[in-house]
Each structure stands twice: as C-alpha cells, then as structure tokens.
Structure 1
Amino acid sequence: MRLRSQITLAATAVLAVVVSVLVAVPSASAAAGFTVSNGRLYDANGNEFVMRGVSHAHTWYPSQTGSFANIKALGANTVRVVLATGDQWAKNDTADVANVVSLCKANRLICVLEAHDTTGYGEAGAAVSLDRAVDYWLSIKSALVGQEKYVIVNIGNEPYGNNAATVANWTTDTANAVKRLRANGFEHTIMVDAPNWGQDWTFTMRDNAATVFAADPQKNTVFSIHMYGVFDTAAEVDDYLNRFVAAKLPIVVGEFGFNHSDGNPDEDTIMATTTALKIGYLGWSWSGNGGGVEYLDMVTNFNPAQLTSWGERIFNGANGIRATAKEASVYGGTASPSPSRTSVSPSPSRSSASPSPSRSVTMSDPVLGACKVTYTVVGQWPGGFQGEVRIANTGTVAVSGWKLTWNYINGQAINQMWGGSYTQTGGAVAVTNAAYTAPIPAGGAVSFGFLSSWNGTNATPSSFILNGQWCS
C-alpha cells in the first residue's frame, strides 16, 4: 500500500479491452495444498475457499505476534503478512518466517506471505524486481516446503509503479517469476499483484492475466488487485471483478481501504460484490500505518479492544469479515464439499462492444420486480456528464442476462458505454448486458457506466424496468 495517482474515470472507460478466457484443472502435483480450478480457489480437502482477512505489517512490528490471535478472534480466516527481502527493509529470515507460519497455523489462519520490497519498482528508487523477490523466496524455501495446505506465496507487493516502460514488462516478468518458483520446487498457490501500485489502471494485469496463468505449469496462480482511489465507483469495481469471473481467472482484492489520499474507494461495493461473486478480500491493514494514512489502521496501537471506524466497518459491517468468513476446512472448518471439477473448453473472447442476447427472466413479483436500480451522476461538466447505473438483484433467483430501460426527459444523449450496450431513440434508452455483466446472482449486483451529453437540465430518470418488471 502506498500513495497512488488518481486517474480520470473517462480514461478508464476508453481503455476497456478484451480479457482472454482460460480454464484449467490443477495438476496432481499441486494436490498437497491449495489448487485453482475454473477460476476458483480450493483448499487441500477440495473445498472452495474464499479469503476474508487483513494485512499485518509483521516486518515493521515483529514483536506484535499476538496480532495473529487477535485477527482470528475478530473472525478472519486469512492473514496477509508483510515480509521483507532485506533490500528496502531488514530481511525476515528463514527462522522468522517459519515462526510466522506456525503462528498462522496455531490460530487456524491461512497465511498469505508477501515480499514488500518490490513495491513501486521502476518508480520508487529503492524497490527491487520480481526476480529479486524470487531470490528471497528461494532463500527461505525450507520454511515453506510442506506448508502448502496453509501458505499462499504472494511473490511481490505492488511490483511496478506507474512508469510505462517498466509496467510494459509486467506480463513477461511475472510469468518468469512464477516459472522460476515452480522450477525450484514451489508447489504452493502463487499470488501475483497488479502493476500501477497494485491498482492496474492501465489494465495490464486484466488484459494479460490469461497469459500469466498459462505460463504456470501447475495452473495454480491467483491474481490480486489493490483497490484504492482508482476504484471509487461501483461501475469500476464491478466491471473489473466481473471480467475475471467471466474469464474463469481467479481474482482476489488483495488490499483495499475505506478512504485514501488518492481518492475515496467504494468499500461498500468492494465488499458487496466480492461477497456476491465469492471472491476473497484482504483489507489494509491491522495497525501501525504511518505517512499520513494512519486512518487505515483497523485497531489503535494493536489493541483489538480499540476498533477504529475502519475496523468496525470491515469486521462488523455489512458483508464484513464476521458475517462472511468461513474457516478453511484444513483446520476442521465445516465448509461443504464443492462440486466436482472438470475441464472446460475455453470460451470465446468477450468484448464489451458485443452484448449477449437479452434473455427474459421472470422475477418473484409480477408487478414490482425483485430488483433495485441506483442511478448516479459521477461527474458533470458543461455539455457532458458521466453516469453510473447499479442493478441489484434483491430476490432469491439468479438473473442470467438482462435488459434495462428508462426514459430521459431533458434531451440527454448517451455517446459511450462500458459494461453494457445501448440503443437510444429520443429519450428512450435500452441497455443490454455485456457478456461479463450478464449474471446477477441472488443478492448480488452489477454496474455499468456511460458518457452522455446534456443541455440545460440533467434530471435523473424517474423509473427503471428490468426484463419487463419495475425496479425500486
């Protein structure tokens, strides 16, 4: 986690491109620990596992070993542990890492171990490369081999800043790092972070994740997006995560907060969408923040009895850790066995420019549908504005394909859209889903965004109809 540059939302829309689809069954050699199949993470017992936890800055606060028990007591099933390679900060050696793993196991937590010295490589002068991070993992290998049931290796934290020349190397460097770990006997699930200080505003990870996944001989790689100011609208959050789900590529929100100096992340959507899509999340961070982001502490001075407002939100709020975390079954948790997993042929590439056909779905009420639509003007300027529409499925039946209609009364005219495709005749607007926004699980939601012109008045539409039924 580090201060990041805010991007314009319109630029994000223009950059939207295709994510390739790749599905694989994990190899038998990975079966001793976590595995990935069809875009989902499974523990060693074959049960699907969804991370719910927080980061702990162990490398800077090595004496705070009681934090592992305290994090577990507040309901987490995972802790992401900050380690150092010895390049920017004092090295966490083999003995220390072995002790961290034992603390995780003693407290029935899954350990995500990350090397922090890569943060901002190419922009931060002291940051080191992913290849150097692999050197570190090899140097402490004896603490990790045999712990595949309990440990996930996050190769390097936020491994590139915003320098375009180095960001361009993310795909090759990340694939090579994964292959080098595999060649040296690492059978763990490997987690890889996005560039752009983890926020991937260039969509480098999103658009090349399939290539990196294919480079892993064990097909056991998970992708991590960090959501701060770049992800300050529901449309951006939903669009990014749904693209990975549609491509059957495993994704977690490896860091996020409820506020940040580079913008105000939409933590409510992050937590709601990850819950609906069964995606893991790891909040930043337990305690000990400095440099002007002390508000990201979840507890004050490592005291679990002193939850901050951010701590209350992530542990006890809607879609929070207490409400959604399930202990990994390798610790005797009660997770239900997952359905059998089979190989699936790759699907065609998906493009937001080519919507899926609208399929009628009968919802629970023939008059008022089990849906809620939230229409937001994200930004407005003379003659134009950016809008966002969030569709929530408030019923008990999943929606698979949708068409949403509304009417403008002030002459607004949409000229660009992402997350769906539109037609407009006069004031009548009809939007059909993109392939990756087609499913809306019961209790879940999707969002789409658009750019539009306006003149004089920009009134919010008064009503919305989804698949032939009114939404509240």
Structure 2
Amino acid sequence: MVVRSALCAVSKVIQPGIGALPTVEPALRPVSRRAVPYGVIGPIRALRESAMSMRRALRAFGIAGVLMAGSVAGFGGPASAVASPAAGQSAADGRASAVAAAPALHVSGNRLVTGSNSTFRPLGVNRSGGEFGCVQGKEIFDGPTDQAAIEAMKAWKINTVRIPLNEECWLGTGNLPPTAPSAAAYQQAVKTYADLLVANGINVILDLHWTWGEYTGPGGGCPDVAATCQKPMPDARYTPTFWSEVATMFKGNGAVIFDLFNEPYPDAANNWSDATAAWTCLRDGGTCAGITYPVAGMQTLVNAVRATGTTNVIMSGGLEWTNNLSRWLEFKPADPTGNLMASWHSYNFNGCVTTSCWDSNIGAVAAQVPVQAGEIGQNTCAHDYIDQVMAWADANKVGYTAWTWNPWGCSGGSVLIEDWNGTPTSTYGEGFKAHLLSQTAGDPGGDTAAPTAPGTPTASEVTATSATLSWAASTDNVGVTGYDIVRVTGGTETQVAVSASNRATVTGLSGNTAYTFAVYAKDAAGNRSTRSATVTVTTTGTPAGTCSVGYRLVGDWGSGFQSEITIRNTGAAAVSNWKLGFTFTNGQTISNMWGGTPTQTGGSVSVIPASYTDTITAGGSVTLGFIANRGATNTAPTTFTLNGRTCTTT
C-alpha cells in the first residue's frame, strides 16, 4: 500500500510537526494504478489523475480530522484500537504456545514445498507499520508484536505474515528524523518479530516497501527523496546493501521469504510508452526512462542476496504495481539456487481484475513457478472482489496475504481487524477470516507427493549440435506424466527439453563444448521430484563462432562507475554456455552485475551467462551491465576472450 502525496501534503498543513500522515495508511490506493486494461492509455489520463488528486486531498483532510479528534498523535488509529489483546489470552506472557516452528521452504517446479517435499501455500495477512513508523520518527510498529498479538492471528488460521520494511530505517541513513529509532533497534525489532512468528508456526515474508530516491513522474506517491512512499523502482544507492544485510541476518532460516520490492511501476515512469524498456528496467536496472536516480534491477538484488550464501526463497514482481505478470517469465531474474517465485498484487481497481485476465496473465506464470499474491484487497468494506481472487488462487495453487492486519477502520476497505484482539471488520475482515478457516497450507484434497528422482542420465548419439540423454524412470504414487531436462551452469538451471518418456534429445548445442545436464520428474498434480545426478557431455567438432566485444562507460561518480559490455557472435553458429574473460588494470572491483555472474581474482574477471543471455545466436549479441568501485584512474579493459578465444574490440 502507498500513502499518496496529497495525504502527506494535507497532513503537514493540519498536523504541524507530525510529518507525512500515514500513521493510518488507509485503504486509499494510488489512482495511478490504472484501472484500465494493459496498454490503454487514453488522452484523458492527465485530467483523470488531476481530479482524483483533489479527491484524495479532500479525503486526507477528513482522515486527518478524525485523527486530531480521536487519536493519540503518532499512532495509527483511535486510542481504543491500539490496546493489546486481553491479558488472559493464551501465552500472553510472551512464550510461544506448543506448536511446531514454521517450515523451511524451497521451490520445486511450480510449488513451494517443505523439507519433506509437502506442498505449502502461504495464506495470511500483511502486518503494516514497519515501512512508515520509523521514517516518521515514531515507533517501529504501530501496535503490539508480542505473543498475545500473534495468538490473535493464529485464531484466523494464518500461516504466513508479510512484513513491509523501509530500507532507510534498516540502514539508519541521514534522511531519518532525529526521533527515529536507530538502525540497530529497527533491525532487532524486525528480527524479534520474525523469529517469534516462525516459532509460532507462521512463515514470514519480508517485503521491501519504501525506498530512497526522488521521483516526481507519473504515478508518484510523493516528491520526497527519503523513503516516505512507494517509488517506481529500488535504488542502486541503498537497496543492494539492504538486501545483503537482511539476507545475512536471516541466513539459515528457510521459513523466511524475501520479497525484493513491493510494487514496481517503471512502465508508469516512462509514461507507458515502451513496455519492453520497462521490463528490461525491472530486471536490469541502471538508467531507466523517467527515473532520475540510479536503479537497482531485480537481477542485482538477487545477486546481492545470493552473494551472502543464503538460499531463502525470493519473490520478484512484475509491472503496473506488480499486477501485470504478462512477460514475467521472459524477464525474470536468474537465480542460481532455483528458489525464485513470482509476486502478484490484486485490487479491484487494478487493470487485471477478471478470471480471463488472471488465466492468461497470471496462470501462465503459475504453471511454471510458484506465484504469491503478496497483497489482495478492495476499496470497499465488502469482500466480493477478494472472494473472486481467492477462489481463482485456490484453484490455481496460488498463495495470498490480504491487506492489512491493522485496526485502522474499514471506511475505505482493505482493513481486516477492528482491534489487536483480531476482531474482524464487517464484512471485509469477516469474509477473509471465514475463507482462511476453510483452507489448508497445501492443496486441499490434492496429490502432494512428488515422484522419485530420475536415475543418472547417460549420453549417446553425441554430435556437434545435439546429444541424446536417457535415464532410469521415476515412480509416483499416482503416476509420472513427464520429465524436465535442464542444463546446469554453475548454480543456474535452464530448461532445454521436456519428454513424456525417459529419453530426450537436446539440440541447439555448440561444437566442442562441454555441457552439464540433469532431469526432473513430474506428475499430473504439478509435483516435481528432486533433481537427478548430473552428466557432463562434450559435443564433437570445433568451437563455434568468432566474436567482437564493445565496452562502454555509462556513468562515473568518482568512487565508482557503471559500464556495459556487448558481446557479438560474428560466427555462423550459435554460442551457448559461454565464458567471457577480461582484465582491469587499475584495481577496479565489480560489486553488481546483470546479464551474467562475475568471478574476480585481482584484476582478472571471468563471467558466465545468466539464463537469459546464455545463448548468443549467429550474428546476434547480448549486453551485460555492471557497477564497480574504482580508484584514482579507471582505464577500460582492452582485451576480451570468449571461451578462450580472443575477440576483436569495437
């Protein structure tokens, strides 16, 4: 959820000294999440947004007036709403009741599974507060996060809580007010709450909600540089460090999922003029149209998390405030662990609000990777829209967490509770609670047992461009329906073939090149086995293709710089599974790269491809981007090799 700039402006006028208002983050969703189909931009946009901005400002005044009359300044609702649950509630002394801890999770095909390979579907709520309280110089959460408060959640059968966070509060930047909690206090509060939830059998999604960077373009939530609202994309200045630190703190706790960025909208930033550019910005970051600060793309953030050695599941969103996943599979970031899932949000004023749109837009993604609706809601106090979303999600094995578990009053929708005891609002909260109580974490009544792992594949009929693999068949309690064959490059997997039998031919290979393959089995319910052992195959013939490389300095800020490398295949055959080599001569060190994964020893750098740059077609090219640190000089590399062969430079 995002607090609109009009809200902030009015609250500053009528509540001097308190700051931008969102102690109540009301169900006042940004109108720039256009409730029109994708690509329909009509000429009335400016008039429409102007009119709705005035309506937001008037509404903000009404909300602020209520706060002044009936609230404790700095808290998120009426005084009666911030009281803790009754002392007599079970385990109110702060100890978790006798329940199993939340399970560690990983991705298997299009499912989230536990260590025993049982399907797990995250169903629960958002617990807002951590994204805005600190940046306003107030408390970290706007209400209790103790055992009694968690017991109230458990009464709803909640198995997952999504916690929105603020990167500047986590890092303790200079943009925070003097009364803000310290970075250490903020981090400890988040960890304490997350650990207590996990101890109570509730999984946690840590969501980066608000970030640094001045943005005043279309869809903007506020003009502030500081992290006081939803920005169109995460920033390269702070966000990679934020995720590196969060990943380090929760390393080894597989019950915690990392949601990289709440609601991207680089498509709005470029005024919906170039969808491909917006999807590229989402994945690669760098310089993006309409955004004035350096952007950290999803690939950079995945790299920052994985560089810590953590294997926690990662969520990555789409466009239009992550309501649009239409090209998610094409532009998803590469994750060497395979623990990547898609993040989707659905409100009744978004562009994709029908089952037919969900089938084509979201269902295609859910057929291949797990999808989590990190936020669902509606701008009324009824539950008719979320009922439709949940029915579709249940049928398609998609999890969901509703907005929001905060007692802010349901005058505008999307508020679940009347008080911290968990009393549901009428009828939005009542409807959601009733639905949760009817669900299970897995697929109700379905097959959740995965096939056994296939046998180790063996290779035959190896040529310069293909190889045939065969393996011992898997078994399943219901029946194996097919196999997925993957190429393994370091820690990255790329699916290269599917087969209904225990034999497949992989084509499109390059001559005299080593490839490593493995196999998964799957059944009709979508359950996927663990991976088989790998086999390495070297094709016949000579290495395909020659190459040229172009190196370009994109930007330089004294202590660091951003550059691009374009690799062109000037040969007659495709080049796959490539390895690029070059050398820095002035002590430059790469900190983040997209399009490939670097390994650096001194000045020597080698790069292996991401899944989406793995193959360079004959006459085609791929572009890598990176951010690096530098010293007094910054001489560009002059020699590049591809698979050991020296390339010409352009």
Task: Give TM-score scaled by structure 2 length.
Answer: 0.43
1:321 to 421, 436, 451: 436
For residue 258 of structure 2, what is the aligned residue in structure 1? Answer: 153
- Secondary structure at 1:81's aligned position in 2? strand
For residue 124 of structure 2, what is the aligned residue in structure 1? Answer: 53
CA contact (8 A) 1:209 1:223 kept: no
For residue 354 of structure 2, what is the aligned residue in structure 1? Answer: 233
1:178 to 302, 309, 327: 302
For residue 315 of structure 2, what is the aligned residue in structure 1? Answer: 191
Structure 2 CA distance for partners of 1:184 and 1:10, relative to 1, 3 Å: closer
Aligned partner letter, 2:166:
A
- Secondary structure at 1:86's aligned position in 2? helix
Aligned-partner Cα distance in 1 for 2:155–2:113? 23
For residue 164 of structure 2, what is the aligned residue in structure 1? Answer: 82
Aligned-partner Cα distance in 2 for 1:98–1:8? 39
Compute the displacement of 1:265 (Å): 8.2
- Secondary structure at 2:345's aligned position in 1? strand
Aligned-partner Cα distance in 2 for 1:85–1:232? 31
Structure 2 CA distance for partners of 1:341 and 1:39, relative to 1, 3 Å: farther
Structure 2 CA distance for partners of 1:260 and 1:225, relative to 1, 3 Å: farther
CA contact (8 A) 1:233 1:266 kept: no
Compute the displacement of 1:179 (Å): 1.7
Structure 2 CA distance for partners of 1:212 and 1:232, relative to 1, 3 Å: closer
- Post-superposition Cα deviations, 1:122-181, rounded to whole Å, max 9, x if no partner, equal 534443725433311323444311211x11111221133621278340021112211221
- Answer yes or no: is 1:143 the counterpart of 2:249: yes
Aligned partner letter, 1:321:
L
Aligned partner letter, 2:187:
T
Structure 1: unaligned runs, 5 residues or longer: 14-31, 329-334, 350-396, 399-472
Structure 2 CA distance for partners of 1:112 and 1:119, relative to 1, 3 Å: farther
- Post-superposition Cα deviations, 1:2-22, rounded to whole Å, max 9, x if no partner, equal 314324338479xxxxxxxxx
For residue 259 of structure 1, what is the aligned residue in structure 2? Answer: 379
Runs of 4+ in 1 over 6 A off after TM superposition: none
For residue 417 of structure 1, what is the aligned residue in structure 2? Answer: none
Moved more, 176-185 or 292-301: 292-301
Compute the displacement of 1:62 (Å): 4.8
Aligned-partner Cα distance in 2 for 1:305–1:260? 18
Structure 2 CA distance for partners of 1:143 and 1:164, relative to 1, 3 Å: same
Paired residues for 1:341-380 under 5 Å: 344-345=484-485, 346=495
Aligned partner letter, 1:83:
L
1:217 to 336, 339, 349: 336
CA contact (8 A) 2:161 2:203 kept: yes
Aligned-partner Cα distance in 2 for 1:103–1:327? 23
CA contact (8 A) 1:224 1:251 kept: yes
- Secondary structure at 1:216's aligned position in 2? coil
Compute the displacement of 1:79 (Å): 0.7
Aligned-partner Cα distance in 2 for 1:44–1:347? 27
Compute the displacement of 1:294 (Å): 4.4
Aligned partner letter, 2:151:
A
Compute the displacement of 1:211 (Å): 3.9
CA contact (8 A) 1:314 1:321 kept: yes
- Answer yes or no: is 1:167 the counterpart of 2:275: no
Structure 2 CA distance for partners of 1:234 and 1:43, relative to 1, 3 Å: same
Aligned-partner Cα distance in 2 for 1:257–1:327? 22
For residue 106 of structure 1, what is the aligned residue in structure 2? Answer: 199
Moved more, 77-86 or 340-349: 340-349
Structure 2 CA distance for partners of 1:119 and 1:277, relative to 1, 3 Å: farther
CA-atom RMSD in angstroms = 3.7
CA contact (8 A) 1:130 1:177 kept: no
Which structure's CA Rg is the greater one?
2
- Answer yes or no: is 1:93 the counterpart of 2:198: no
For residue 371 of structure 1, what is the aligned residue in structure 2? Answer: none
- Post-superposition Cα deviations, 1:11-54, rounded to whole Å, max 9, x if no partner, equal 479xxxxxxxxxxxxxxxxxx94221222111223211111111
For residue 64 of structure 1, what is the aligned residue in structure 2? Answer: 144
CA contact (8 A) 2:380 2:412 kept: no
Aligned-partner Cα distance in 1 for 2:109–2:200? 30
CA contact (8 A) 1:288 1:302 kept: yes
CA contact (8 A) 1:81 1:113 kept: yes
- Post-superposition Cα deviations, 1:319-340, rounded to whole Å, max 9, x if no partner, equal x211113389xxxxxx964444
Aligned-partner Cα distance in 2 for 1:293–1:178? 38
- Answer yes or no: is 1:134 the counterpart of 2:134: no
Compute the displacement of 1:193 (Å): 2.4
- Secondary structure at 2:152's aligned position in 1? helix
Structure 2 CA distance for partners of 1:9 and 1:84, relative to 1, 3 Å: closer
CA contact (8 A) 2:243 2:301 kept: no
CA contact (8 A) 1:77 1:110 kept: yes
- Secondary structure at 2:210's aligned position in 1? helix
Aligned partner letter, 2:306:
R
For residue 396 of structure 2, what is the aligned residue in structure 1? Answer: 277
Identity among equivalent pairs (%): 22
- Post-superposition Cα deviations, 1:54-101, rounded to whole Å, max 9, x if no partner, equal 101141435421433221221111111122222687657331222022
Compute the displacement of 1:348 (Å): 9.1
Structure 2 CA distance for partners of 1:43 and 1:118, relative to 1, 3 Å: farther
The structure, 1 or 2, with the larger RCO (C-alpha pairs under 8 Å, 6+ apart) is 1
Structure 2 CA distance for partners of 1:280 and 1:103, relative to 1, 3 Å: same
Aligned-partner Cα distance in 1 for 2:116–2:209? 30
Compute the displacement of 1:241 (Å): 2.4
1:298 to 416, 427, 445: 416
Aligned partner letter, 2:420:
F
Aligned-partner Cα distance in 1 for 2:343–2:213? 15
